[in-house]
Each structure stands twice: as C-alpha cells, then as structure tokens.
C-alpha cells in the first residue's frame, strides 16, 4: 500500500475517532454544569453558586456557573416581611434583611443543597445555603441570631430538628425578634 494512502486512511480514522469522542461527551466537559461539592460538615453534597442579590431575609438571587440568576427561598425559615406586595413591613423585617445582606453579600460563593421539592409554587428554588468561605449554615445562623422563625413545610423537613434547636436557643435568650416583637412566632 502506498504511503500516501496509509496516511489518508489514518487521518480519516483519527477524524472519525475524534468525532465519536465529541458526540459521546468524553472529550469535553459541560461548561454550564454546576460544580458539585461536599456540604460543610459532611452533610451530603450541594452545588456551588454565587449570590447575586439579597431580596429580603429569606430570599436571594443566585447564579450557577454559566447560568442566569435563579431566585431561591431559604428552606426551614421565615423572616419578617419587607417586600411582600400589599403587606406592611413587619416587626424586625428590615433588621432580618440587613442581616441577610451581611451574611450573603453580592459575590459570595455558597453551597446550595435542596430537599425533597426543588421549587415552591412561585417557581423559586428551595434551598439550604452554606457560605463556602467558612462553612456557615446561613439558614441556621438567621434562626440562631433571632432574625427568623422556623417554617417547616413537608416534605422539605430534612433539617427541621437542627433548625428548631437554633430557634429555641434564640427564643430562650430573647435574641433578635424574640426580644423586639410581640408574638414573633404568630405573625
């Protein structure tokens, strides 16, 4: 067989192999897939996201690698309202929003973990959040400091006991809204 024919045949075989690798996905990674990491404290896995904006004490806008932002609702907690249409600003609402801004400044990398239901009836992601820099469990921190009350809605209750313990401590110490508001649990 002439050398030229062998070279052409080899080039075609390599081209076919490269095409097959590209089609199978083995030759590249998906640039828009979120990075999956361990949740701080070894509590499973979560996806890495970046905080774009804090809406209020329990709602944030997040960006996952290469994707436009997604509105997310923190699971297991409820903070006093500040932005709900046709509703008054509730006691300790501005303070809860300010604390969420402190904990989750724009650009903060977080680890996002979901529970059973991925979204609520408004289309928001339902999430537990940890700051990636120091492992702070944000949902729990807002409860522990008295900026939120527990809101457990089945089937999203994986961390209910942990979150309830944080609320009990804040309530017994009269931290945050527990010392500032009348009947904060009955809002």
Active site (catalytic) residues: 73, 81, 124
CA 143, CA 134: separation in Å to the nearest integer?
18
**Distances in Å between the alpha carbon of 170 and those of 25, 43, 103, 147?**
50, 23, 18, 9
Of 33, 64, 184, nearest in space to 129 by CA: 64
Angle ∠(104,72,153) on CA atoms, nearest 5: 115
């Amino acid at each position: 067989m002439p050398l030229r024919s062998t070279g052409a045949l080899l080039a075609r075989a390599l081209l076919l192999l490269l095409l097959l690798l590209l089609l199978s996905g083995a030759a590249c990674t998906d640039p828009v897939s979120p990075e999956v990491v361990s949740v701080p404290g070894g509590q499973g896995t979560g996806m890495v996201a970046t905080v774009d904006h804090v809406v209020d004490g329990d709602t944030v806008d997040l960006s996952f690698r290469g994707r436009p932002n997604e509105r997310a609702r923190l699971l297991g907690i409820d903070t006093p309202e500040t932005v709900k249409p046709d509703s008054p600003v509730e006691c300790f609402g501005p303070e809860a929003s300010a604390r969420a801004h402190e904990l989750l400044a724009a650009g903060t990398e977080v680890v996002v973990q979901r529970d059973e239901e991925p979204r609520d009836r408004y289309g928001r992601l339902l999430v537990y959040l940890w700051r990636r820099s120091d492992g702070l469990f944000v949902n729990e921190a807002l409860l522990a400091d008295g900026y939120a009350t527990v809101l457990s809605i089945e089937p999203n209750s994986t961390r209910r006991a942990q979150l309830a313990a944080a609320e009990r401590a804040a309530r017994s110490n009269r931290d945050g809204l527990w010392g500032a508001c009348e009947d904060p649990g009955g809002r």
